[in-house]
A and B are shown apart, each in its own frame.
Chain A
């Protein structure tokens, strides 16, 4: 293991030019790239441009931003939306959860008008969703209108885990009852990575 390059906030990392770009955990000021975190410097090559990043070694402090894929747990259902708590952003587990709301029209990509919330989600379900632009100050609008998004972990009415059997159905592993869900197509290998 090579010795890591450690930096602290405000440390000047390198000059900002055509071959160096400021990435995560850094900021630009007056032609230089500075670190904004205490952590380890990481240089990623992207199409010939070196993206300078700083990785925090502890748990990262993040708030959801537009476009993030988040893991959330459904709490309340209504006719028009379901409320959930956001527990992870990408691979990062949050130590404080944030409120999310998933509207009926954002559940599926197709057949928007025929979607019914209770046929897609139930309280307790763990879902993958994408963060929409922020309009209200304290609630994040979420969307699952993509194949890869939707329920990933759910329990049947009897309290046993279920497995997906189609795009819209899951089956209880114990009682073999079928329930309706908007199922996420689980990408094998590391399903939580940011796309």
Chain B
């Protein structure tokens, strides 16, 4: 009967659980789900990573291409990142143009990467005014079970750290490009912003919510930190939140961030061991 009840009165079903201080998936209210990071799984990409937060799965592949820079920024390359939430990952999404959520997430992640300064676009310049790298980072969600921003940010940063670019010789006089694929360079990543999401349900704050929890919650909050500092807060509407609770969330994020960054670095270092010439 539990399934029927959940289907008919999801909120009541959930409240009953929370009254016992436990969530339907067995977690405590402030408990994070396990995170798994896997790197370099896509050989056709120049950098790739796969992240799982609980059941939420996202994959990111980065393709490097060559192009002339914008006239107004002659020594900057491009980093184009897009988040796809295909209908494959959840029944919430329909085939066709990107959903609102996908557009919002794309924008948020893209802005965050540029503003946090974790990557310097000038590093992507090959010959000023002539040739720069354009990195296409496509993040695709394979399984949407909540906290999509957290997963996207994590996977993007990890993937960026695995990017290996070949050396390019450019002869501007005859417009000739020569690629030396035997030597590959890493990209400089200056800092690692990570985020965690919270859901508000009645008077409680739920850490790292699943899709079901996100749906019945009265509002979401995403906190992004880098180097133990607050980087961004994303609270798209919903019920109001007291200052005190907000601080709690920020502190919790800062603590959790260490764990995530260690995880990224462990994963990336394994790859670097395989790739000594980097």
A interface residues with partner B (beta carbon < 8 Å) = 71, 73, 87-88, 91, 93-96, 126, 153, 192
Contact = CB atoms under 8 A, between A and B. Distances in A.
B91 A87 contact: no
Contacts of B276: none
B91 A88 contact: no
Interface stretch (B2-10, B132-140, B215-223, B267-275): B2-10
A163 to B, nearest CB: 16
A153 B8 contact: yes
Contact of B91 (A91, A95, A126, A153): A95
A192 B8 contact: no
B8 A71 contact: yes
Interface of B: 3-4, 6-8, 91
A71 B4 contact: yes
- Residue among B3, B4, B6, B91 having the largest count of chain A Cβ atoms under 10 Å: B4
A73 B4 CA distance: 12
A187 to B, nearest CB: 15
Closest 3 CB pairs of A and B: A93-B3, A93-B7, A87-B7
Contacts of A93: 3-4, 6-7
Contacts of B3: 93
Contacts of A73: 8
Given A87-B8, A93-B6, 14 more contacts: A71-B4, A73-B8, A87-B4, A87-B7, A88-B4, A88-B7, A91-B4, A93-B3, A93-B7, A94-B7, A95-B91, A126-B8, A153-B8, A192-B4
A87 B10 CA distance: 12
19 contacts: A71-B4, A71-B8, A73-B8, A87-B4, A87-B7, A87-B8, A88-B4, A88-B7, A91-B4, A93-B3, A93-B4, A93-B6, A93-B7, A94-B7, A95-B91, A96-B91, A126-B8, A153-B8, A192-B4
Q: Is the interface of B mostly helix, strand, loop or mixed?
A: helix
A54 to B, nearest CB: 21
A93 B6 CA distance: 9
Nearest to A153: B8
A192 B7 CA distance: 14
A154 to B, nearest CB: 12
A87 B7 CA distance: 7
A96 B7 CA distance: 10
Interface centre among A87, A93, A95, A126 (most CB of B within 10 A): A93
A95 B3 CA distance: 10
Contacts of B91: 95-96
A87 B5 CA distance: 10
A105 to B, nearest CB: 26
A192 B4 CA distance: 10
B1 to A, nearest CB: 9
Contacts of B8: 71, 73, 87, 126, 153
Contacts of A96: 91
A96 B90 CA distance: 12
Contacts of B6: 93
A192 B3 CA distance: 13
B220 to A, nearest CB: 23
Contacts of A126: 8
A3 B3 CA distance: 27
A111 B273 CA distance: 82
A73 B9 CA distance: 10
A153 B5 CA distance: 11
A77 to B, nearest CB: 19
A192 B8 CA distance: 14
Nearest to B2: A93
Contacts of B4: 71, 87-88, 91, 93, 192
Nearest to A87: B7
Contacts of A192: 4
A192 B1 CA distance: 10
A91 B7 CA distance: 12
B181 to A, nearest CB: 46
Nearest to A94: B7
